[in-house]
Every structure is written in structure tokens, then in C-alpha cells.
Amino acid sequence: MSSTEKSSNFIEQIIDNDLAEGRVSSIYTRFPPEPNGFLHIGHASSICLNFGLAEKYQGQCNLRFDDTNPEKEEQAYVNAIMEDVRWLGFKWSGEVKYASDYFDTFYEWALHLIREGKAYVDHQDAGTMAKNRGDFTTPGVESPYRNQSVEDNLAEFEKMRAGEYEEGSCSLRAKIDMQHANMNLRDPILYRIRKQSHHQTGDKWCIYPSYDFAHGQEDAIEGITHSICTLEFQDHRPLYEWFLENLPVPHQPKQYEFARTNLNYTVTSKRKLKRLVDEGVVGSWDDPRMPTVSGLRRRGYTAAAIRTFCEMVGISRSDGIADIAMLEHAIRDDLNNHAARAMAVLNPLKLVITNLPEDEVQSMTAAAHPNKPELGERTLPFTREIYIDRADFTEDTTLSRKKFKRLVLGEYVRLRSAYVIKADEVVKDDQGEIIEIRASYVPGTVGENPPEGIRPRGVIHWVSASHGKQAELRMYDRLFSHPAPDKGDEDFMSHVNGHSLEVRQAWIEPGLAEADPEQNFQFEREGYFVADRHDHTAGAPVFNLTIGLKDNWAKKV
Ligand code: ATP
Ligand code: MG
């Protein structure tokens, strides 16, 4: 399906109707992360949805930081989030926006509600307030401060703003309905005291608006037409609308909810991901095992594969759990089509080509990609001593050609992009361990069939021992060994896969050392690898396993 034929999701249907019936004339969305952690694969869904709609309808999408919680937020997260959105291939409209850009307006609007008799300063402590809110079966109890005069409320709110009260001693609440069936309308908190420096506003404020008092108003100020959030905000929608009705806002946005994207074998909650970082289970937020956008990126996932995955998962109104195999499929498919091929030997066994002189170096050429001549060619030095993989040789001569398509004593195999060779002799150490194979090459077999009577069993990969380079390979596996790590009674941390990283040394074809950081490869017969963004250098190459060629997870568990 081309992008124009894509079947439309329920939000697109709403937009199509709004446009057809003239409720809106252009589309304006926003992606509103709180900068309290790095973005994860769930956020990628929301990004693809919001920015994707703006692209599809030639509208606009803001990147807006919902920064109303200074104690949990940091500039470092702001920076990481901007980089992730850009890397995913999206462009926000104009400057980055911050909820904190509007703190002066929110403050004015709080005064407006007080003057209208629709807000009051409550001196009850948090515990009392929570108790008096009641629950689904118990009506709320009105605060003794609820009917304070407008003048008193204005004076008290000014004292809150001036820092005269301690954190937690009072808050500003909307005066709505303590009996309301929707708990969110039982006099919700508008402002609380937080004596905290803020990453954008410094020490200007010691009172901060609640999410509810901020979000819809931000949408109104920015002219957002379709404010799309996840399902847990559905019950907040009446409050979102109450503020828009009761404040002098310049525009009336509408909120729509969709289901979160969940993935099996994964946790998607910044709070939980932060624990993995803080407790040292992973090295950083962008550790290649993390389901963060930057972790996936460092693992070798491409932005295109992540966008494809989000499209495959789609947008729905009811919760579901996507299979991580789908994400893995998306990256395998992309890399199979685009990643250059290369050779790396992970379990080296020396093989000496006895009929090639010691100092002779022959240059072999190989296509970077079997179906993409535009990716060019690479040069492989062929020398007397090479490495092959231990698993590609056996002394067992009884194995059928079908069962073992590799090297057997007295028989032939083709070295990928080079000669057909024959294994003549095995050299062992005192313990009987094979330390070397002595072989001979068949002249004239590069890119040519061998003479009559010579039948190679298969094709194996190799690297020159004298010209190859050593590299560190970081072999990653899933971070959790349980399909629903955070769903049961146990702490999700108890389901961390203890074997999610194995560091190995390998021999790589020499050109690979020159790879650019983040360059993707298929190491033939081994898997897809990427040059590590941070640690790879020509002098000390480092590659991360993105994903194996075939899904071998099912076999393991
Ligand atoms: P987390 O629990 O990970 O902190 P959050 O919803 O609190 O998630 P925000 O920074 O508030 O994180 O989210 C920014 C936007 O991304 C919101 O609109 C939110 O609804 C959306 N979002 C967050 N997680 C998911 C998810 N798993 N699937 C789809 N959208 C998501
Ligand atoms: Mg949040």
C-alpha cells in the first residue's frame, strides 16, 4: 500500500469529518512529553501519530514539553527528547514550546477563577484532602475553606506565590462539585507549592500548575485542533472541557484518546526505565537493550524501521499488547534491504593455505549488497593465513553433504567471494584441541565454478589473519525473559534476563574498522550489527548485535 492508500484510523476519520463539516479548516496537533526521562517505543507511536497527521493533512505539529513538575524534570531529558524526535524524521512547527512559557497566563487564569468564585485556597493537608475526596461509592466532603471570600482567596493565593507557605501546607483548588460521579471534578488541584528550581524558569515560581490545569490551556493557547492523548486521560476530559468553558481561552481544542502501545518482553514506563538505569541494570538510558528511542537507535534500529513498526501496530481505542517479534521483523526487513554485507569471524580457527606464499596478498572483491550494486564493492585481502569459524569445520567425515554444508577433512568448500579450498590436514595441541587446519586453494575458482569432479559442500565466511582487525562485539539479547515483566505480582526487576549482554572478540574484514559510527551491516551468517555510536573507532572497533538473522528466541525459552 502506498501512503496515500493507507487505511485511515479512527482519528483520521474524525479529522476527515471535522474538515468536511467545517469544524476546523486546518489540522494542528502536538506531542507533549514530560521531560522526566527518555522517550520509549510507546512515545514513538504517539510521535508518529501526531507528526504523521500533521504531515498527512499539511497541518502543523508542536513539540511541547509538559514541564509542570520541576522535581522530576531535567534539561538533559529535554535535549534527548528533541534529538529523538528529529532522528525519527519529524520536524516540529516553529520553536520548541514549553508549558512553562505560559506560567504567567496560567497564573492570571487562576486569579480569574478565584475572582469568579470558582477557585479557593485549601489549607487541608494532602492526606485529609485525599480522604475527603471520597471514592466511587462515597461522596466527597467539602473543605472548610471552600466558602472563603474572594478577597481571602486572592490574599492567600498571593501568599502561596510569594513563598510564605511550606510545601504541602496548602493548594489552590477549583470549586466544582464534591459529589460529582467523576472524581476528577471533585474540586481538583490547580496549583501546588514546590520550592524547586525549574529547568526553564529558574527560581521565578514556587507554585506550579497541575497537569490538568495546564494541559488543555496549553492546547488552547497554541491553537491545537486535535489534542490526542492516551486512554488514561479519558476521565479527565470533562475537566479539560470545564477549564475551556470557564476561562477566557483564545481557542477551543478537543481531546481524543487512543490506547497505549504496549510490547511484550518490555516495560514502557519512564519511571520503570529510570529504575533500570539508576540501579545499574543497564549502563544508561541509551543502553542498546533499552526500549528507549535512543537505545533502539544505538542497538542499530533505523528510524524507518521504528516508523514501520508504529504503522503496523496502528492506532486503536482498546488496549492490546504488540509482539516484540513484530518490531524485530521490521528491523530485519529494513536491514536485509539496506545493510551492507561484511564478514566477521566470532569463533576463530586458523586455516593455513599451504599453496599460497607467505607474503602474497591477493585482492578479492565482493559486492557490498547482493541486490544493490549502487552500494559499491569492498576489497578483501586474501592471505596464506585466514580465520574461519570453528563451527565451520568438522573431522567427522560421516556427515552427509546435506547435513553439513561446510568444511570436512579431504573435501572442498568455497570461501565467500574467494577460492574453493580443500582441507588437507588438522593440527592439534597436546590436549587434542584443533588449533589449525592446513588447506590448499584451487586456482581459477574465484567467481568461477571449480573443475569437474570438485564439489564444494557449501560457502563459508573468512577473514585474513594478517590483514583482518580485531573488534569487540556486544551480543545483546532481550532485556526481560518474561513476556509480561510488569504485569504479575512480582517486581518487574526480577524478570531481567541475566544474559542480555555478552561481550566477545571477533576478527573482522579490515574495511569494517573504517565504518562510520551507526553504520549498519549484515555480518554474513551471523546477524545484523551496527558500529557503536559512542565507542566505535577505527583503532578499536566496537559493533553491537542489532538482531540475529533468524528469530532464535523461541528455541531458547
Ligand atoms: P510514561 O508512563 O512512560 O512516563 P507518560 O504518558 O507519562 O508515559 P509523557 O511524557 O506524559 O509520558 O507522554 C507524552 C505523550 O506520549 C503523551 O501524549 C502520552 O499519552 C504518549 N504516550 C506515552 N506512552 C505511550 C505509549 N505507551 N503508547 C502511546 N503513547 C504514549
Ligand atoms: Mg506523564
Per-residue pLDDT of the chain (557 residues; tens, 9 = 90+): 344 445 589 999 999 999 999 999 999 999 999 999 999 999 999 999 999 999 999 999 999 999 999 999 999 999 999 999 999 999 999 999 999 999 999 999 999 999 999 999 999 999 999 999 999 999 999 999 999 999 999 999 999 999 999 999 999 999 999 999 999 999 999 999 999 999 999 999 999 999 999 999 999 999 999 999 999 999 999 999 999 999 999 999 999 999 999 999 999 999 999 999 999 999 999 999 999 999 999 999 999 999 999 999 999 999 889 999 999 999 999 999 999 999 999 999 999 999 999 999 999 999 999 999 999 999 999 999 999 999 999 999 899 999 999 999 999 999 999 999 999 999 999 999 999 999 999 999 999 999 999 999 999 999 999 999 999 999 999 999 999 999 889 999 999 999 999 999 999 999 999 999 999 999 999 999 999 999 999 999 999 999 999 864 444 44
30 C-alpha to ligand 2 centroid (Å) = 15
CA of 37 to the centre of ligand 2 (A): 10
Q: At what angle do helices 150-161 and 103-115 cross, to 10 degrees?
A: 160
Check pocket membership of 316 for ligand 1, CB cut-off 6 A. Answer: no
Grid coordinates given for 506:
571477533
Structural domain boundaries in the chain? 10-260, 270-341+471-556, 344-460
Cβ–ligand 1 distance for 518 under 6 Å, the answer no
Atom of ligand 1 nearest to the CA of 232: 20
Cβ(261) to ligand 1 under 6 A?
Answer: yes
- Identify the pLDDT of residue 8: 82
Which of 38, 39, 45, 46 for a ligand 1 pocket mutation test, highest count of atoms within 8 Å of Cβ? 46
* Protein residue with least CA distance to atom 23, ligand 1: 43
Closest approach atom of ligand 1 to CA 47: 16
**Residue showing cell 518482553:** 265
Ligand 1 center to residue 82 CA distance, Å? 15
Looking from the CA of residue 45, the nearest atom of ligand 1 is 29
Sheet holding 97-98, edge to edge: 28-31, 60-65, 97-98
**Whose CA is closest to atom 8 on ligand 1?**
269
Q: Is the CB of 273 under 6 A from ligand 1?
A: no
* Smallest CA separation from ligand 1 atom 15, residue: 33
> Ligand 1, residues 36, 43, 47, 306: which to mutate, most atoms within 8 A of Cβ?
43
Any idea which ligand is nearest the CA of 65? 1
Residues 6+ away with beta carbon under 8 Å from 277: 284, 285, 287
- pTM of the predicted structure, to 2 decimals: 0.95
Q: Which residues are catalytic?
A: 34, 260, 270
What pLDDT is attached to residue 488?
A: 85
Measured distance CA(80)–CA(143) in Å, rounded: 42
Q: Is any atom of ligand 1 closer than 6 Å to the C-beta of 291?
A: no
Q: Is 230 in the pocket of ligand 1 (CB under 6 A)?
A: yes
Which of 2.60.120.10, 2.40.240.10, 1.10.3720.10, 3.40.640.10 is the CATH number of 270-341+471-556? 2.40.240.10
User: Which of 50, 90, 230, 318 best tests ligand 1's pocket when mutated (most atoms within 8 Å of CB)?
Assistant: 230
Check residue 550 and give its pLDDT: 87
Strands of 84-232 (E only): list them. 97-98, 119-122, 171-174, 189-193, 207-209, 226-230
The DSSP symbol for 451 reads P
43 CA → ligand 1 middle, Å: 5
10-260 matches 270-341+471-556 in fold: no
**Cβ neighbours for 252, distance < 8 A, ≥ 6 positions apart:** 220, 244
35 lines ligand 1 (CB under 6 A): no
Cα 42 to middle of ligand 1, angstroms? 7
Report the alpha-carbon distance of residue 480 to residue 495 in Å, rounded.
6
Give the three-state DSSP class for 534.
Answer: coil
| Cell of residue 364, nine digits | 578479492
Distance between CA 303 and CA 314 in Å, rounded?
Answer: 17
Looking at ligand 1, which atom is closest to the CA of residue 269? 3
Whether the Cβ atoms of residue 522 and residue 528 lie closer than 8 Å to each other: yes
Q: How many CB atoms lie within 10 A of CB 356?
A: 20
**Which class is domain 10-260?**
alpha beta
* Topology, domain 344-460: Ribosomal Protein L25; Chain P (2.40.240)
Q: What's the grid cell of residue 150?
A: 474572594
